[in-house]
Amino acid sequence: MRIALLGSTGIIGTKVLNVIRAHPDAFSLTALAAGHRVDALLATAHEFHAPFVMAADTDALHDALDALPDPRPTQLRDTDELCSLIASPQVDMLVCAASGTSGLKPVITALEHGKKVALASKEILVLAGRAVKEAEQRGGGHLLLPIDSEHCAIFQCLEHQPHRFVRRLLLTASGGPFRHRPLADFETITASEALRHPVWNMGAKITIDSASMMNKALEVIEAHWLFEVPEPAIEVIIHPQAIVHSMVEFVDASVLAQLACPDMTLPIQFCLFHPERQPALCPHLDFTVAHTLTFEPPDHAKFPALDLARHVLRHPDQPLGAVFNAANEVAVDAFLAGRLSFAGITRLVAHTLDACSDLRGTALADALHADAHARALAADALDKLVPPRGGIRSIMST
pLDDT digits (tens, 9 = 90+) for 66-116: 999 889 999 999 999 999 999 999 999 999 999 889 999 999 999 999 999
Separation in Å, CA 216 to CA 165, 170, 176, 303: 24, 11, 10, 10
Which stretch of 168-177, 276-285, 368-377, 386-395 has the lowest confidence by average pLDDT?
386-395
Q: Is residue 366 a contact partner of residue 129, using CB atoms and an 8 Å limit?
A: no
Which residue, among 354, 97, 335, 323, has the nearest Cα to 221 in the 3D structure?
323
Please state the pTM of the whole predicted model: 0.93
Would you say residue 396 has pLDDT above 70? no
Would you say residue 397 has pLDDT above 60? no
pLDDT digits (tens, 9 = 90+) for 208-217: 999 999 999 9
Average pLDDT over residues 295-314: 96
Average pLDDT over residues 348-376: 96
Which stretch of 17-31, 289-303, 382-396 has the lowest confidence by average pLDDT?
382-396
| Mean pLDDT taken over the chain | 94
Which of the four pLDDT bands, split at 50, 70 and 90, describes residue 340?
very high
Cα distance between residue 284 and residue 62, in whole Å: 43
Q: Does domain 2-146 have CATH number 3.40.50.720?
A: yes
Average pLDDT over residues 147-162: 95
Average pLDDT over residues 113-138: 97
For domain 151-262+295-396, give the fold: Rna Polymerase Sigma Factor; Chain: A (1.10.1740)
Cα distance between residue 183 and residue 343, in whole Å: 9
Which of the four pLDDT bands, split at 50, 70 and 90, describes residue 392?
low
Would you say residue 398 has pLDDT above 70? no
Residue spans of the domains in the chain: they are 2-146, 151-262+295-396
pLDDT for the residue numbered 389:
47
Which of the four pLDDT bands, split at 50, 70 and 90, describes residue 388?
very low
pLDDT for the residue numbered 231:
97
pLDDT for the residue numbered 383:
74
Average pLDDT over residues 132-154: 97
Which of the four pLDDT bands, split at 50, 70 and 90, describes residue 324?
very high
Would you say residue 191 has pLDDT above 70? yes
Would you say residue 394 has pLDDT above 60? no
Would you say residue 20 has pLDDT above 50? yes
Average pLDDT over residues 306-328: 97
pLDDT for the residue numbered 280:
94
pLDDT for the residue numbered 203:
80
Average pLDDT over residues 187-193: 93
